[in-house]
């Protein structure tokens, strides 16, 4: 694993084509096979999605692209959101398949945790499918297993 220089950047509404590429890429979305794999993200959805995730006045959503500063290229997306039903903040990291295992995931988790802490969030969670290899990444980054079901592992990191 090579150390990378990354930054979380806010995309403009016009930049959401990168998110569409991520969500429509079969290799990148292979972890989501149990839930249908790729996810359509058509242009007519972008403005509404953008308002919710990047202009939310309640600050219950945080979303950024992961930029490799050395190459000036986006390699993934990073987010967290408040889930009222369970009363928890859920984290999300998605790195392009061809950019995985290069250190982006670990650094992205670290940056997201720092951002959430600045916002006053005290813990981040994720429910990771049992067969998703990113579970090891989360555990390495200081998340701890809370419980397991037949479908997923719930992890948490106290900030």
Report how many domains make up the chain: 1
Look at residue 105 and tell me if it is in a domain. yes
Please check whether residue 6 is in contact with residue 66, taking contact to mean a CB–CB distance below 8 angstroms. yes
**What strands lie across the sheet with 152-158, from one edge to the other?**
6-9, 61-68, 73-83, 88-95, 123-129, 152-158, 144-148
Look at residue 72 and tell me if it is in a domain. yes
Rg (CA), the chain: 15
| pLDDT recorded at residue 1 | 43
| pLDDT recorded at residue 34 | 64
Copy the structure tokens of residue 49.
């999605």
Look at residue 144 and tell me if it is in a domain. yes
Q: Which domain holds residue 112?
A: 6-158
pLDDT, tens digit only, all 159 positions of the chain: 455 689 999 999 999 999 999 999 898 888 776 667 888 899 999 999 999 999 988 899 999 999 999 999 999 999 999 999 999 999 999 999 999 999 999 999 999 999 999 999 999 999 998 888 889 999 999 999 999 999 899 999 999
Look at residue 106 and tell me if it is in a domain. yes
Look at residue 95 and tell me if it is in a domain. yes
Look at residue 123 and tell me if it is in a domain. yes
Please check whether residue 20 is in contact with residue 121, taking contact to mean a CB–CB distance below 8 angstroms. no
Look at residue 1 and tell me if it is in a domain. no
SS3 81: strand
| pLDDT recorded at residue 38 | 87
148 phi, psi to nearest 5 deg: -125, 150
Look at residue 136 and tell me if it is in a domain. yes
Task: Report the candidate in 130, 114, 126, 77 with the shortest Cα–Cα distance to residue 99.
Answer: 77
Give the domain CATH number at 58: 3.40.630.30
| pLDDT recorded at residue 87 | 97
């Amino acid at each position: 694993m090579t150390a990378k220089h990354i930054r979380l950047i806010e995309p403009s509404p016009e930049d959401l084509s990168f998110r569409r590429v991520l969500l429509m890429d079969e290799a990148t979305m292979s972890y989501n096979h149990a839930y249908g794999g790729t996810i359509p993200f058509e242009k007519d959805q972008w403005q509404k999605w953008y308002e919710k995730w990047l202009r939310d006045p309640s600050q219950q959503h945080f979303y950024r692209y992961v930029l490799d500063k050395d190459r000036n290229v986006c390699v993934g997306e990073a987010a967290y959101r408040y889930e009222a039903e369970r009363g928890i903040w859920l984290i999300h990291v998605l790195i392009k398949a061809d950019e995985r295992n290069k250190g982006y995931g670990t650094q992205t988790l670290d940056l997201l945790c720092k951002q959430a802490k600045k916002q006053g969030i005290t813990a981040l969670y994720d429910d990771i499918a049992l067969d998703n290899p990113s579970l090891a990444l989360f555990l390495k980054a200081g998340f701890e297993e809370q419980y397991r079901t037949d479908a997923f592992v719930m992890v948490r990191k106290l900030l």
